[in-house]
Structure 1
Amino acid sequence: MRIIGYIEHPELKITIFKMDTRISVKFEKGYLEQTFKFRQANGLEGAKEIRQLVDAKFLGQVEDQFSQMEALHEAAITTHFPPEPADEFDDII
């Protein structure tokens, strides 16, 4: 797999990869990531076509998915590893 390009975005790191007959687009936001894989066919040949595919509507849906992923991540952490209660008094040394 090799990197064939990037897509500029103010909040996301977007990387385009190519391996054999597949093209992958990876979106990263903090500790979360999403990857979409496409077969190289029907005019979808490289980074130029992926840049056309990743339009404002597509990016909006990716950002919505990140919001859902963040909520799910936080809920799982809170459920299984609840925050420890704060001490009522300061430690005296």
Structure 2
Amino acid sequence: MRIIGYIEHPGMKITVFKTDTRISVKFETGFYEQTYKFPIDVHLQNLDDVKKLVDQAFISAVRQEMERMHRISVQAAARRPPEKEHDFEEII
């Protein structure tokens, strides 16, 4: 797998990878990432084709999914039991 390029976006890092049989598009924001994999065909072969595929509607859906991932993470963290405070000897 090799990087064939990047798609500019102000809020996410978007990296495009290519293998012999597929193209992968990875979206990254802070703690979260999503990767979408597409088979190579006559309509999807290079970075320009990917830029046409990854339109505003696609990016908007990815952003919504990132927000959902964040909510899931926050909710999971809230369910963890609180950490026990350490008891130290009193020094006088």
TM bin (shorter chain): 0.7 to 0.9
Give the drift of 1:42. Answer: 3.3
- Compared with structure 1, are the counterparts of its residues 80 and 18 closer, same or farther at alpha carbon in structure 2 (3 Å cutoff)? same
Unaligned runs of 5+ in 1: 86-93
Q: What are the within-5 Å matches in structure 2 for residues 41-80 of structure 1?
A: 41-80=41-80
- Rounded Cα–Cα distance in structure 1 between residues aligned with 2:48 and 2:57: 17
Q: Following TM superposition, where does structure 1 have runs of at least 4 consecutive aligned residues deviating by more than 4 angstroms?
A: none
1:81, CA displacement in angstroms? 4.5
Amino acid at match of 1:55: D
Q: Distance in 2 between matches of 1:22 and 1:51?
A: 15
Q: 1:81 to 1:8 in 2, by over 3 A?
A: farther
Query: What secondary structure is seen at the aligned counterpart in 2 of 1:43?
Result: coil
Root-mean-square deviation (CA), in Å? 2.0
Corresponding letter in the other structure for 2:10 = P
TM-score, scaled to structure 1: 0.85
Cα deviation code 1:44-64 (max 9, x no counterpart): 101110000000100000000
Cα drift, residue 78 of structure 1: 1.1
TM-score by structure 2 length? Answer: 0.86
Gaps of 5+ in 2: 85-92
